[in-house]
Amino acid sequence: MRKTKNGVCEINYIDEKKVSSVRKQMKPETVMQMLSETFRVLGDTTRTKIIFALSQEELCVCDIANLLGTAKSAVLTS
């Protein structure tokens, strides 16, 4: 662990071996963009609840609306 002062490295040292290892494992830009979009969508509580519910059981819009206590149209626009 490098010593830091106020969260900033006190010395400028790059561990090339670690950086190279991670660089080789880094996914292509298109994959990262899709992941970013997925996390943006999951930032909405209603969408997260819907995804969780669907991961537990196959549900129709009526079921999801009832579960969330909302209108079917709210489920469809989420």
Average of per-residue pLDDT across 41-60? 92
35 CB contacts (<8 Å, ≥6 apart)? 27
Least confident range from 15-19, 37-41, 51-55, 67-71: namely 37-41
The fraction of the chain above a pLDDT of 70, given in percent, is 91
pLDDT band at 3 (very low <50, low <70, confident <90, very high): low
Q: What is the pLDDT of residue 52?
A: 94
CATH architecture of the region 4-77: Orthogonal Bundle (1.10)
CB–CB of 75/61 below 8 Å? yes
> Cβ(69)–Cβ(38) under 8 Å?
no
Give the per-residue pLDDT at 5: 64
Q: Is the pLDDT of residue 73 over 70?
A: yes
Tell me the helices (H) and strands (E) count for the chain, helix number first: 5, 2
Domain ranges of the chain: 4-77
- CA pair distance 28, 1, nearest whole angstrom: 29
Angle at 39 between CA 64 and CA 21, to 5 degrees: 140
